[in-house]
Chain A
Amino acid sequence: MSPELVSVMGGTGIAASAPPPPLPPDRLLELYRVMLLTRLLDDRAMKLQRQGRIGFYVPAMGQEASHIGTAAALAPEDWVFPSYRDPGIALLRGVPVVELLHQCYGNAADHTRGRQMPVHYSLKKIRFVSISSPIGTQIIQAVGAAMAMRLRKEPLVAMTWFGDGSTSSNDFHTGMNFAGVYSAPCIFVCENNGWAISVPLEGQTASATMAAKAEAYGMPGVRVDGNDVLAVYAATKQAVERARAGHGPTLIETVTFRMGGHSSSDDASRYRDPAVCEVWKTRDPVDRFKAWLEGKKLLSAKQEQAIRDRCETELKEAIDAAEKVGPPAVSTMFDDVYAARTPQLEEQWSELKDALQRGVVAKGHHGEFPL
């Protein structure tokens, strides 16, 4: 049994089927601002990568409504276990864009201390759990956190995001299964963007929809227009309320499209039909939300420009600031392996420090680092 696609705004080939959620105008504009900031961050970061100023990037373009609309249905105390294509969750939760840029630069101000490739954010202050590259690993961890919330009788939920490719992974299956068995307050957001790098959806599953997979695990499955932030929000809100009330997990499939490549190392034009991309351009989640807000007289052209200018300024200042911060000191490489350095780590650091001080280490392509 596959659920119908729920849409508020409607769009090319998509019928509007649900009323808009009762969100106040300032919240709607805030969602728009975060979606736009996420889009502009993408654009700037991809350029920074092309210019060789950051090493790598994963564009989220096209999936702003999908990940921001779902995250918007959470309370600030709830925990988030995102994938690497969900930067808007951090921005929505109030993280200044400069903190994301510090991470992309891998500089000394980066929360992750320059230890992970760009976009692998970790932001404990907003309960945003460290991003992993291996697919789906965060899913079962989110369920574990949700099991702990239930065990402690705390009215919180955990939410986890992953792509259609992740539904083939072991951790998706075990995560869904554990959540069903323990009735864990966990929301699974499958951002079905149609592609796992170069492999299309039909190469990933024989299920008619991703939402249909929920049935086998004993939980509801919902299928929403993932480029319609209002539909995404409304569906997620219901799932969150259900979980918070102790009624267990939900799988939400957001039907969306990865408008860019898989990453800055990928050229999607080599395997994707441009005609399909053209159709999805007409369903651009940022454009659609803008048009909807304008149609409801909630956003004027002047207001829109002001929001856009504010985002651009914030980005420019953030990039300038992130570029000014130097790399982490070499000694930090040996920190946080364990709570305290082992004798082996101390020995290896003193060996390396000595070699660096004597100038025997060839200079890397990134230049010199402070000790």
Chain B
Amino acid sequence: MPVMTMVEAVNDAMRVEMRRDPRVVLLGEDVGVKGGVFGCSAGLWKEFGGDRVMDTPLAESGIVGAAIGMALYGLVPIAEIQFGDFIYPAFDQIVSEAAKMRYRSGGEYTVPMTIRTPIGGGIRGGHYHSQSPEAYFAHTPGLKVVVPSTPRDAKGLLLASIRDPDPVLFMEPKLVYRSLKEEVPEGDFTVELGKARLVRPGKDVTLIAWGGMVGMCEKAAAKCAEEGIDCEIVDVRTIVPLDEATILESVKKTGRAVIVYEAPRTGGFGGEISAILAEKAIEWLEAPIVRVTGFDTPFPYTLESVYLPEPGRIREAVLKVVRF
């Protein structure tokens, strides 16, 4: 099995699907000749040509809106938004158009498109190259929201997203883009949407995270293990639809939950998970549910490393719930 970074795995997934399905097209800013600012589409323009790999004018709402029209017509577009922080001009087209087309047309019109966008901190990108806007989109009936945390999952989940009959917002954590290499299956390989992944089994506490924070939890869990605390880690993978069953099963087993996400705390998706645990697992809980998150500030440039959840703060939270 080849070893890949997440960037290479995303590239491989798109190449596999563009070879397999002539309806698949890619459009976005600098995705063509340059191959994307992170290189996710490297080589695709050369292999598939400018008709299928389109460098677009600089307008996110235009990229998504045009992709919706293509999907309505019968293509399977992948729309790349260069940074998640730039996605807001397309908010209306994503939330009120792509996500609602099936419903408002009584199931007659569908928008099987994937919007790919890099999210999260870790590259010293400041406020406009570091945000994690998943919670805005998780609040949108009709839209699926996927955040892989490893190269293998990135490939499998992206292929599943492209083939999904509904619009999928596929958010790629920049923190993992090139920092992690692992074996990724060659050729056709999918990971089912709506299924969380048990990253590490443990008995004392459940760490729940997605994207770049899964790796942080693994580091924290390794430290905790040295202190005799056995952490279980659940990688949510699909924010919408959420795999509640796996999360509930784990928390019912450990009796403790720490939810880790890098977005601002207030209104973050971890609040939803916390509510689900309170509603459906309170009898099993031995301690309060604790969140370790970014802060309710804009994403800072210089102070990035203290804004982002890291193993130290996660360990503190683990100790708090274990010793409660």
Which residues of chain A have a CB within 8 Å of any CB of chain B? 79, 81, 110-113, 115-116, 120, 122, 124, 129-130, 132, 134, 137, 139-149, 151, 158, 170-171, 173-175, 177-178, 181-182, 335-339, 342-344
Contacts and interface: CB of A to CB of B under 8 A. Distances in A.
B68 interface: yes
A342 B105 contact: no
Contacts of A144: 65-73, 77
Given A122-B106, A140-B66, A141-B65, A338 B59 contact: no
20 contacts: A115-B104, A120-B104, A132-B96, A132-B97, A134-B96, A139-B65, A140-B62, A143-B66, A144-B67, A144-B68, A144-B77, A145-B69, A148-B75, A149-B73, A171-B62, A171-B93, A175-B62, A178-B59, A178-B66, A337-B141
B77 to A, nearest CB: 8
B108 A143 contact: no
Nearest to A131: B104
Interface centre among B25, B52, B75 (most CB of A within 10 A): B75
A110 B106 contact: yes
Contacts of B69: 81, 140-148, 158
Interface in B97-113: 97, 101-110
B273 to A, nearest CB: 13
A114 B171 CA distance: 33
B244 interface: yes
Contacts of B144: 338
B92 interface: yes
Nearest to A140: B65
B48 to A, nearest CB: 11
A186 to B, nearest CB: 9
Contact of B74 (A110, A148, A158, A337): A148
A151 B242 CA distance: 36
B166 interface: yes
Nearest to B194: A342
A151 B71 CA distance: 13
Contact of A170 (B51, B52, B61, B105): B61
A148 B62 contact: no
B312 interface: no
Contact of B62 (A116, A132, A177, A342): A177
B104 A338 contact: no
- Of the four ranges (under 10, 10 to 19, 20 to 34, 35 or more), the interface on chain B belongs to 35 or more
B70 A148 contact: yes
Contact of B244 (A110, A339, A343): A343
B57 interface: yes
A343 B93 CA distance: 26
B65 A171 contact: yes
A130 B141 CA distance: 17
Contact of A174 (B65, B73, B141, B240): B65
A342 B242 CA distance: 9
A344 B73 CA distance: 30
Contacts of B54: 182
Given A122-B108, A132-B96, A178 B102 contact: no
Contacts of A116: 104
A113 B51 contact: no
A143 to B, nearest CB: 6
Contacts of B103: 115, 336-337
Given A122-B109, A129-B72, A151-B51, A112 B102 contact: no
Contacts of B68: 140-141, 144
A338 B102 contact: yes
Contact of A137 (B65, B165, B240, B242): B65
Contacts of B72: 129, 141, 144-145
Interface in B21-65: 25, 51-52, 54, 56-57, 59, 61-62, 65
B126 to A, nearest CB: 25
B89 interface: yes
Given A142-B69, A174-B61, A124 B92 contact: no
A130 B101 contact: yes
B107 A336 contact: yes
Contact of A339 (B89, B108, B165): B165
B241 interface: yes
B56 to A, nearest CB: 7
